[in-house]
């Protein structure tokens, strides 16, 4: 009891600060980050089969930007709005993990 009390952590519920121990799962929880509409993030790991745009290109909403092969499917990554390609972080043949920042875009 005494040795634990030295390492106790704080959990705040309704403005009250409780002394307690965190669980491993609580420590490993994912911190929330707001979605940035200008970031194209991979929702699944896969292989980049084709990159159809380059930095500085002006593209229309719905235009195909790249092909990501995952789960044996060729997934098209489409432009969500009329805009410009700011940065391309992928190249053909690259294997990318989940939640990888593939491209940065911006509306015009």
- Residue 66's contacts (CB-CB under 8 Å, 6 or more residues apart) are 48, 49, 50, 51, 52, 53, 76, 77, 90, 102, 103
- Classify the C-alpha dihedral 67-69-75-79 as positive or negative: negative
Q: Which of 50, 57, 63, 70 binds other proteins (CB under 8 A)?
A: 70
Count of residues engaged in binding other proteins, rule: CB under 8 A: 31
Backbone angles phi, psi at 3, to 5 degrees: -70, -35
Q: Does 64 bind other proteins (CB under 8 A)?
A: no
Q: How far is the CB of 93 from other proteins (least distance, A)?
A: 13
Q: Does 60 bind other proteins (CB under 8 A)?
A: no
| Residues near other proteins (CB under 8 A) | 1, 4, 8, 11-26, 29-30, 32, 44-46, 70-72, 95, 97-98
């Amino acid at each position: 009891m005494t040795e634990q009390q030295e390492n106790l952590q704080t959990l705040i519920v309704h403005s009250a600060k409780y002394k307690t121990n965190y669980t491993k799962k609580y420590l490993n929880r994912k911190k929330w980050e707001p979605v940035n509409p200008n970031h194209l993030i991979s929702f699944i790991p896969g292989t980049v089969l084709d990159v159809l745009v380059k930095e500085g290109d002006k593209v229309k909403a719905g235009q195909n930007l790249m092909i990501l092969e995952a789960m044996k499917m060729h997934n098209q990554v489409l432009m969500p709005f009329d805009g410009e390609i700011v940065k391309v972080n992928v190249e053909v043949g690259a294997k990318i993990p989940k939640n990888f920042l593939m491209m940065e875009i911006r509306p015009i």
